[in-house]
Amino acid sequence: MSNKFFVIISFIILSGCSESNSNQINLSTVISPEYSSYVTIANCNLLEGNSLINLESFLSSQTIQKKGSKLSLSVLFPDSSSYVNTFLIYAEANLENEASKSINNIYLNGLDTLASCEYEKPYKSTNLFKNISTLTEEGDYDITEILNCSYNDGFNYGSFVIAIDRLIQKMEMFKSKYEIDYIELADSKSFIWINRFDNSFFKEELPEIWLSNPLESTEIQNEFKDNAICYDATVYKEFSL
């Protein structure tokens, strides 16, 4: 069921938006992101001879030094793979250097003996939508979908956030966890779009919601067209550190 929904949500986002509207485009020029944090994403590969058990044992022993900063760290494993030797470390902080510094500290504390990681300087990030739902089960995790996107000619952040308003209004109807994070890449014409779902909601409820109303799903898809092209969509299991 989760694979069915992944096809649906990716198709909605990857397809782009419908008819352009001149008023919408004019309005978009005065809308700019209100960035609230910085994000660093490390792409890691387990070194030969190590396993996820070794990695889990190491990460559980780490003490995260927050030093008064808003800092969150999580590790993400590909959801579709039976054999996992790659993973991401996602760090978010309200201070520019804190996100990459926290990953660097973990790397120097011993992660370098288990995995090889690559990461760039922090990117600016903002949360576009959040339905708050507390994960109550020990060991529970989020389903996180990461898409790399770029704007089509003549479109920008302003036109994009206008276009996704229909999706946000739809998701406000439900109480389960759903978040949208937007990360601007260096050239400002490219961005990372991140969907986070509560695991049980993603697998059990959301597929039926979208499939039960194909007309609305199509309308939301049409509101994406022309704004941006997204690619490299990957679904992960995300665990907080």
Q: Which range is least confidently modeled, 58-62, 82-86, 121-125, 175-179?
A: 175-179
Q: Which range is least confidently modeled, 13-27, 184-198, 213-227?
A: 13-27
Q: Which amino acid is at 137?
A: E
Share of the chain above pLDDT 70, in %: 68
Q: Which range is least confidently modeled, 38-47, 121-130, 219-228?
A: 219-228
Mind listing the pLDDT tens digit for each residue in 101-150?
889 989 889 999 999 999 988 999 999 888 765 544 544 678 899 999 99
* Span 46-62, average pLDDT: 90
Q: Given this model, what pLDDT does residue 34 score?
A: 85
* Span 48-64, average pLDDT: 87
Contact 102, 90 (CB under 8 A): no
Burial of 176 (0-12, 13-18, 19+ CB in 10 A): middle
Q: Which range is least confidently modeled, 69-73, 113-117, 179-183, 215-219?
A: 215-219
**Please, what is the end-to-end C-alpha distance for the chain in angstroms?**
28
* Span 151-171, average pLDDT: 81
Mind listing the pLDDT tens digit for each residue in 88-102?
999 999 988 888 888
Residue 224 in this model has a pLDDT that exceeds 60: yes
Q: Which range is least confidently modeled, 9-13, 98-102, 233-237?
A: 9-13
Mean pLDDT of the chain: 77
Query: In the chain, where are the structural domains located?
Result: 2-240
Q: Given this model, what pLDDT does residue 135 score?
A: 47
Fold of the domain built from segment(s) 2-240: Alpha-Beta Plaits (3.30.70)
227/210: higher pLDDT: 227
Exposure class string for 26-55: b at 16+ Cβ within 10 A, else e: eebeeeebebebbbbbbebebeeeeeeeeb
Contact 21, 89 (CB under 8 A): no
* Span 224-231, average pLDDT: 79
Q: Given this model, what pLDDT does residue 14 score?
A: 46
Q: Given this model, what pLDDT does residue 156 score?
A: 86
Burial of 83 (0-12, 13-18, 19+ CB in 10 A): exposed
